[in-house]
Structure 1
Amino acid sequence: MTDQKSPSERETWPAVWKGWRRRCPKCGSGPMLSGYLKVRDHCPVCREDLHHHRADDGPAYLTILLVGHLMAPLLLIVFETFRPEPLILFTIFAVGCVGLSLYLLPRLKGVIVAFQWARGMHGFAPPA
């Protein structure tokens, strides 16, 4: 089935969900990334061009924003409630922040590329 919808007809939320799963925003079955953060030039399943994306610093910014807003209040709650030793507190939250960042970064990159695809941004619009 070929998807020749215009960008205004592409549904945003299904594409964003496919991007979160790091799948092609068009077909949902082909892998979007060829490495940890490297976006493929095209989908190996449906041949949709993905090289138009302009994710730039967006995934890193969103990762920092989310990790900071999740871990900072949690750090305060844990510190006020349990009063652990500083080295233990640092170790737990350093590992938590790094782990959460590594988990979120490729998923948020997929979300941004899929959002751009759904909205027809940066060359993702089909020719008129």
Structure 2
Amino acid sequence: MPETAPTPPRTALVRGLALKCPACGKGALYRAYLKPVDVCACCGAPLGQVPSEDGPAWLTVLMLAPFLVAVTFFVSMSDLPLWITLPGAAITVTGAVMLALPRVKAGWIAVLWSMGKIGSSQE
């Protein structure tokens, strides 16, 4: 059964960044890398119904942009050959995005949950 009292946005965000249910803070938020559980195993919150399509990806790129620009700058200024720097930069950038995206998406889901945005419509 879903929690009846609304979760404050800050509390929900902290729980989401810990990859836990934003409603109770106990159940897991994901069942796979970026797939939210349909319902929380602890409190029954319908986390699979919180819309999170393109927002997390957009926000991840926006947050990582300064880091990505710095990596590009250092690759272009490096005296190392391109066959070393370009794969290194690609691995670094891909790794940063792969590490950040689950937490950004979890935070996104948590904030939308705290706002009561449940269902397929974002109205």
Structure number with higher relative contact order (C-alpha < 8 Å, ≥ 6 residues apart): 1
CA distance in structure 2 between the partners assigned to 1:91 and 1:51 by the alignment: 36
Aligned-residue Cα RMSD (Å) equals 2.0
- Verify the 8 A CA contact 2:75 2:86 in the aligned structure 1: no
In the alignment, does 2:26 pair up with 1:29? yes
Q: Structure 2 unaligned runs (5+)?
A: none
Secondary structure at the counterpart of residue 47 of structure 2: coil
Task: Tell me the amino acid that sits aligned with residue 43 of structure 1.
Answer: C
CA distance in structure 1 between the partners assigned to 2:51 and 2:3 by the alignment: 22
- Pick from 44, 49, 65 the counterpart of residue 47 of structure 1: 44
Percent pairwise identity: 28
Q: Structure 1 unaligned runs (5+)?
A: 124-128
What is the CA deviation profile of residues 75-117 of structure 1, one whole-angstrom value per residue up to 9, with x for unaligned ones? 314543x432222211211001111111111111111110001
- Return the TM-score normalized by structure 1: 0.80
- Return the TM-score normalized by structure 2: 0.83
Give the C-alpha shift of residue 22 in structure 1: 1.3
CA distance in structure 2 between the partners assigned to 1:62 and 1:89 by the alignment: 27
1:1-128 aligned at under 5 Å gives the runs: 3-6=3-6, 10-77=7-74, 79-80=76-77, 82-123=78-119
Task: Tell me the amino acid that sits aligned with residue 116 of structure 1.
Answer: L
CA distance in structure 1 between the partners assigned to 2:81 and 2:17 by the alignment: 37
CA distance in structure 2 between the partners assigned to 1:17 and 1:116 by the alignment: 13
